[in-house]
């Protein structure tokens, strides 16, 4: 299966390449990069070698392909997706351009008018543990954001079971790679090292993404308070989710929900990000807080893995009818 990667030199693009080079059903035939066009991949990233490393980065694809992975800025994907679909390509978009169903939300959260609202209904939200059957028949997949992936997997058993929920309070900590590869002053090493900070507390674009899925599954809006925090590590994400809901015994519910899931594991102790970095795994740890009267769920993922590129491959496998786990049996580095 021939694939193209648009935005091949950003963090999510490089992670896709790292994983796809060992995928037995994939041949990477086109690497698109505006900033590095004309260079061989190995000249930009020496750790890629062999046939893949010899591929030349181009501004436009020179070889034919069947599936496009878009690792582009939101507005870049917004414009490109309709053209690719018209050409008969299947598309997995890692940006947020097609994640929201309501086009009126885009000016507020993404600072642009959505020019292709008809495609928002066509796009399938690519969280396999929730929308597996829809993904199998999709031609356009909106790959979820990293924060929503960690949070939605933490609360999905409650939504699936129809547990009465009053409100949800979320604190999520993310590695710096979630901000992308473009240099930004406050992510400069001397300023970021030893520093933690919250951001976008009043208007984070992942809030309507989470709320949209919750409403789709639950039928009503649930108040959601989200606090994202950047921590001085390259990758990894931990979300602590407090769900004010009817009293339950959570462990059995979570075990039953995720028993057959290949990538979601119910932990027996609070999980560490070291358990997931470099993999497609998510660990969730549910605990009923008797003192406060709420459910506490801790989840961990790799923001570049299950939060982006490896989840895109999981979606690709489902879309193309391959075994869901192929190319994703990954081991991590320890320590």
Q: Which of 71, 146, 282, 294 is catalytic?
A: 146
The reply to whether 282 belongs to the active site is no
Taking the CA of residue 194 as centre, how many other CA atoms within 13 Å lie in the half-sphere pointing to its CB?
Answer: 2
pLDDT at 193: 84
If DSSP states are collapsed to H, E and C, what string results for 238-288?
A: EEEEEEEECCCCHHHHHHHHHCCCCCEEECCCCCCHHHCCCCCCEEEEEEE
Question: In this structure, which CATH number among 3.40.640.10, 3.40.50.1820, 3.30.470.20, 3.40.50.720 belongs to the domain 2-143+308-319?
Answer: 3.40.50.720
pLDDT at 331: 80
Give residue limits of the domains in the chain.
Answer: 2-143+308-319, 146-301
pLDDT at 332: 80
pLDDT at 188: 73
Ranges of residues in the chain whose predicted pLDDT is under 70: 181, 183, 186
Q: What is the pLDDT of residues 58-81, one digit of tens each?
A: 999 989 999 999 999 999 999 999
CA distance readout (Å), 148 to 13, 58, 216: 20, 32, 14
- Walk across the sheet containing 237-245 and list its strands: 197-198, 224-230, 165-174, 237-245, 294-301, 282-289, 264-266
Distance CA 53, CA 58 (A): 14
Strands 2-6, 67-70: parallel, antiparallel or unpaired by DSSP? parallel
E strand or H helix at 327, and its extent? none
pLDDT at 78: 98
Q: What is the pLDDT of residues 119-159, one digit of tens each?
A: 999 999 999 999 999 999 899 999 999 999 999 999 999 99
Strands 57-58, 27-32: parallel, antiparallel or unpaired by DSSP? parallel
pLDDT at 187: 74
Contact, 90 vs 111, CB < 8 A?
no
End-to-end CA distance of the chain: 35
Instruction: Based on DSSP, count helices (H) and strands (E) in the chain, helices before strands.
Output: 12, 14
pLDDT at 179: 72
Domain 146-301: homologous superfamily in CATH? Dihydrodipicolinate Reductase; domain 2 (3.30.360.10)
Total-model pTM: 0.95
């Amino acid at each position: 299966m021939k694939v193209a990667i648009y935005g091949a030199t950003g963090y999510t693009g490089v992670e896709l390449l790292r994983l796809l080079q060992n995928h037995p059903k994939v041949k990477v035939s086109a690497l698109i990069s505006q900033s590095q066009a004309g260079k061989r991949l190995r000249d930009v990233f020496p750790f890629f070698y062999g046939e893949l490393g010899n591929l030349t980065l181009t501004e436009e694809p020179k070889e034919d392909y069947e599936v496009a992975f878009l690792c582009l800025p939101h507005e870049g994907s917004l414009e490109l997706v309709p053209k690719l679909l018209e050409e008969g390509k299947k598309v997995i978009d890692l940006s947020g351009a097609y994640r929201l169903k309501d086009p009126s939300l885009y000016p507020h959260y993404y600072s642009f008018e959505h020019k292709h609202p008809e495609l928002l209904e066509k796009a399938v939200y690519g969280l396999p543990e929730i929308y597996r059957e829809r993904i199998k028949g999709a031609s356009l997949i909106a790959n979820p954001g990293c924060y929503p992936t960690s949070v939605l997997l933490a609360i999905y058993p409650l939504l699936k079971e129809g547990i009465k929920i009053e409100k949800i309070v979320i604190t999520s900590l993310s590695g710096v790679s979630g901000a992308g590869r473009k240099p930004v002053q406050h992510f400069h090493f001397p300023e970021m090292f030893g520093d933690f900070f919250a951001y976008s507390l009043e208007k984070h674009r992942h809030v309507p993404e989470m709320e949209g899925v919750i409403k789709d599954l639950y039928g009503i809006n649930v108040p959601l308070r989200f606090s994202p925090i950047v921590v001085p590590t390259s990758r990894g994400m931990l979300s602590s989710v407090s769900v004010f809901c009817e009293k339950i015994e959570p462990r059995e519910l979570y075990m039953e929900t995720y028993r057959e899931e290949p990538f979601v594991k119910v932990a027996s102790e609070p999980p560490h990000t070291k358990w997931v970095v470099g993999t497609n795994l998510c660990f969730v740890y549910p605990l009923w807080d008797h003192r406060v009267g709420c459910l506490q769920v801790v989840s961990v993922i790799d923001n570049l893995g299950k939060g982006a590129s490896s989840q895109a491959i999981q979606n690709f496998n489902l879309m193309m009818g391959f075994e869901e786990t192929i190319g994703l049996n990954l081991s991590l580095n320890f320590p």
